[in-house]
Amino acid sequence: MKKNAVFIWQDRVLKKIYPDTIHCLTMDRNYTNIFVSEKDYVMVRCSLDNALKVLPEDEFIKIHRSHAVPISYIEEVGRDYVLISGKPIPLSRQYYKALMKKLPIIGRQSSLAKD
């Protein structure tokens, strides 16, 4: 059973989506694209920050001024990207530390701890 569904406005109706099906959120001007698969997305008229207020705070993290991702979908973290479903998504320096604090890391290197 899936938990904590959220509703989004699309085509003048409310549609239910589950947070654990969201792969990525991307802001495009006044809209946020909510990717529910690698290629399938729903466009919603709201800011990325407002969308993140509705989604579970412990499951999603903003990694760039126009991108947010679910922590559970992150496959790899580089200095300037995260990999989700094999695709790199930009990671800004200003969000890097917050991401590192949220991830459970084993064998953390000293260079990661200092940055």
Domain count, the chain: 1
Non-local CB neighbours of 4 within 8 Å, separated by 6+ positions: 18, 19, 56
Distances in whole angstroms, Cα of residue 9 to Cα of each of 12, 15, 46:
6, 6, 10
Inside any domain, residue 83: yes
Q: Is 114 part of any domain?
A: no
Within-domain flag for 94: yes
Output the pTM of the full model: 0.84
DSSP category for residue 46? S
For 31-88, the pLDDT digits (tens) are 999 998 877 899 999 999 999 999 999 999 999 999 999 999 999 999 999 999 899 9
Residue 110 domain flag: no
Residue in the structure block whose two tokens are 């690698």: 38
Q: Is residue 7 part of a domain?
A: no
- Provide the domain limits for residue 57: 22-105
Tell me the per-residue pLDDT of 98-112, one tens digit each, with 9 for 90 and over. Answer: 999 999 888 866 445
Please check whether residue 4 lies inside any domain of the structure. Answer: no
* Torsional class of 41: left (φ above 0), alpha (ψ -120 to 50), beta (otherwise): beta
- Amino acid identity, residue 35? F
Determine, yes or no, domain membership for 16: no
